[in-house]
Amino acid sequence: MKNEKLAKEILDLVGGKENVKSVTHCITRLRFKLKDEGKANTDALNNHDGVVTVRQSGGQYQVVIGNHVSDVYKALVDIGGFANQAPEEEEEGSSGSLLNRFIEMISGIFMPILGVLAASGMIKGFTALFVALDWIDNTGGTYHVLNATGDGLFYFLPILLGYTAMKKFGGTPFLGMVIAMALVYPALEGIPDAGDSLYTLFSGTLFESPVFIEFMGIPVILMPYSMSVIPIIVSTFFAAKLERFFTKVIPSVVRMFLVPMFTLLIIVPLTFIVIGPIATWASQLIGQGTVWAYELSPIIAGAILGGFWLVFVMFGLHWGLVPVAINNMQTLGSDPILAMMFTHSFALAAAIIAVWIRTKNQKTKTLSAPAFISSMFGVTEPAMYGIAIPLKRPFIFTIISSAIGGALLGFFSTKAYVMGGLGVFMFPSLIHPEEGMNAAFMGSIIAVVVASVLAFVFTYFFGGFNKEEGTEEAPNKTETASLNKGETVEIASPIKGQVVPLQNVSDQVFSSEAMGKGVAILPTEGKVYAPVNGVVTTLFKTKHAIGITSENGVEILIHVGIDTVQLDGEHFAAHIEQGATIKSGDLLLEFNVDKIKEAGYDVITPIIVTNHDELGEVKITEKETVEANENMMTILG
């Protein structure tokens, strides 16, 4: 009766059966295709005790209810008179999935470094503040140490991203780091300043580029890769594929050193010769396009620059505008380009404050304070990559608000007269050297206020905050746990591999611990064994995930890979059925690690105790690697 009641209430809240085109389910959620999503009462569903959260993605209205979704789905089909459809096969494959996958990829790459990213941004901001207040001298040792502490991560950001991106793409993380080290190698970065160019490519065109070195007769167009993002991400994407190819064709006896050697010999020159120049030319196109837009209409140019500045930063395209701005200041005495992007950091900061107030996700709330401070000082990466992009709507609202602020700056003809700081420290750069705080300067204050208020209001009221913001698939807790106080339960590792903290998993569903406490394993063998004695309570048809309830009532979810549901069971084989009684050490599943990686999926496997809050503390092993059937977690009752 409980499932029938929940199903009926959910059906009513999505607008009734007449509003439902179709409904399927995956391992923890009902997936509706509604005729009119506006008829669904999302707030009521989010506040329903039987519902974890609601997500609207890819044309689907997803109601997350937990591991017992199949029982609720059956009741829903009976009540609504729907055809009993096969469990979800589309998962995320509908319209808009490409954008979602891109955002999830970027978020996953930055997720492991969010803490130090936010910390570095705060140190940079405070250092600039101390200089502005004359508390420290920007030529003294204190400044240089603090500046190096805050700026070091941003300067060598490609190296950190080389690790996380390579890991995200299924390659060897240290190989990604070495690629990035080559890109920021000081000797190469210093070549353009050391002498005259050999010759110039594409003279007289937008793509005119001096060539200082050649690689085997091929011209290399050098550009600064420190603080860049896109080149290393693109490089590691292809490097991971090259590594997998060479792993297949090179004999195992020499694979350890020949695979990385051949991968580096191909991908590093390719980056210098192809990826770098493309990024450079894209930046130049942005710069020239902005000048053309400003001459056409300052208001339109302001809206474009203000609205898309964060997008330009994300792709590293903003560097194409800096030379144009410097040239404007040298030749014209002022520059409108950098002035028109002025409101973006304030709009982002305001959106982050709204997130901090509204979110119920403790991790997001903790990150919000330092991200806000960094944004106010013009360092937007922590807020952008850590909060706004993963949550999507705050990022969109920031873009909209910044566009309006930029249009206002264009309207007031606000300009920058010197190359100054960012964020609050850019205000002095906008003061006219002769007229002082003129109408254009006052217009900058108006633009900042308008953009900030809009970003805050949009995010606060329309940010789509759920009971667990930024999470999904968090199952309901059961009432079957029977662990006594003082009792301990040991959970064996179901997989052989490397132990990875759950917080480092790229999927926020798991890393936020909304589904429960646990750990992840990066498999070195494609076999899943039973971690406890118990019963298989859930085995999805795609075989990528399995739910187990132990004899003590401990509920365990083993999720092989990230987004592997989209493989629809390919490369997986099950050796048990749902409802089967199992003993610790029984072989449950097999999966092909290499094939799954080749298909583009991360094989990292979260192992979650979904009802840990009813049981007690979950203690994770301190070992870096575990064998299958070796103790991995201990629950202390």
Buried b (16+ CB within 10 A) or exposed e, 548-565: bbbebbbbbbbbbbbbbb
Tokens 């705080």 correspond to 437
Alpha-carbon distances, residue 446 vs 361, 378, 402 (angstroms): 33, 18, 13
Cα 80 to Cα 57: distance, rounded to the nearest angstrom:
23
How many CB atoms are located within 10 Å of the residue 2 CB? 11
Q: How far is CA 120 from the centre of its chain?
A: 18
Contact 550, 534 (CB under 8 A): yes
Distance CA(171)–CA(159), nearest Å, equals: 15
Instruction: Please say whether the beta carbons of 407 and 444 come within 8 A.
Output: no
Backbone angles phi, psi at 90, to 5 degrees: -80, -35
Q: Which residues contact 230 (CB under 8 A, 6 or more apart)?
A: 279, 315, 316
Catalytic residue among 25, 68, 318, 559: 559
The C-alpha atoms of residue 186 and residue 163 are separated, in whole angstroms, by 20
**Of 26, 48, 344, 544, which one is the catalytic site residue?**
26
575 among known catalytic residues: no
612 is catalytic: no
How distant is the alpha carbon of residue 588 from its chain centre? Answer: 32
Other CB atoms closer than 10 Å to residue 67's CB: what's the count? 23
Instruction: Report how far residue 11's alpha carbon sits from residue 492's, in angstroms, rounded to the nearest whole number.
Output: 40
Token pair of 224 as six digits: 């600064």
Handedness of CA 528, 529, 533, 539 (dihedral sign): positive
Kindly provide the residue ranges of all beta strands, DSSP E only, lying in 400-544, ordered along the sequence.
Answer: 488-492, 497-501, 517-523, 527-529, 534-539
Distance CA(578)–CA(548), nearest Å, equals 9
Q: Distance from first CA to last CA of the chain, Å, rounded? A: 31
Cα–Cα distance, 65 to 2 (Å, whole number): 13
What are the catalytic residues? Answer: 26, 559
